[in-house]
Structure 1
């Protein structure tokens, strides 16, 4: 089973989902804006991605500036909490397969974990 943290309004997310389906993958779609990951789930995803919370933040979102997330003194837990409370801040799409995770930017990047 392949899991995708998906936003249907995002062209990269739609392209990644289409690529997975073209490959015949059984895909569990999680619309993360409606069902955000918990802090523990997001921490686990970050570990699988090999990324820090700051690297997964969408810095162009209004919430990023409004919440002062550009403050480098903010640690992992604070950034994770912000992403859980404001899932729009999470870069997308995230695909999980075979105990690994990849960011679908570009969509083909997820093929390495299938």
Structure 2
């Protein structure tokens, strides 16, 4: 089953969700701002995405600018920062089995479907 880590206030996330709803596959929605992924879940997502923690950070977010910009954190520290400030997590993330993508474009979403 597919999973989408969704933020309803994000237009890219809403677009990806709409695309999933038009398809035939079952999926679950995780509103990650309310159901914050644990540190372990974030590590699993990063493994499925095949990226480093900083690659998953939204550097345009106010909290990033105020608390993290210019800091040289370890991978573990970035993961903890995302857990404590989930607004920092890129969205939407769509997971299909052992693969995941940041589905900000139709092509990225197509790659996971």
- Identify the TM-score tier after normalising by the shorter chain: over 0.9
TM-score, length-scaled by structure 1:
0.93
RMSD: 1.1
Deviation of the 1:25 alpha carbon: 1.9
Residue 39 (str. 1) matches residue 27 (str. 2): no
SS of 1:45 mapped into structure 2? helix
The 5 Å alignment of 1:31-110 reads 31-72=31-72, 74-110=73-109
Moved more, 101-110 or 38-47: 101-110
Counterparts of 1:29 and 1:107 in 2: how far apart (Å)? 18
Displacement of 1:69: 4.3
Q: Are the aligned partners of 1:98 and 1:113 in contact in 2 as well (CA < 8 Å)?
A: no
Q: Does 1:4 pair with 2:4? A: yes
Unpaired runs of at least 5, structure 1: none
Aligned residues: 113
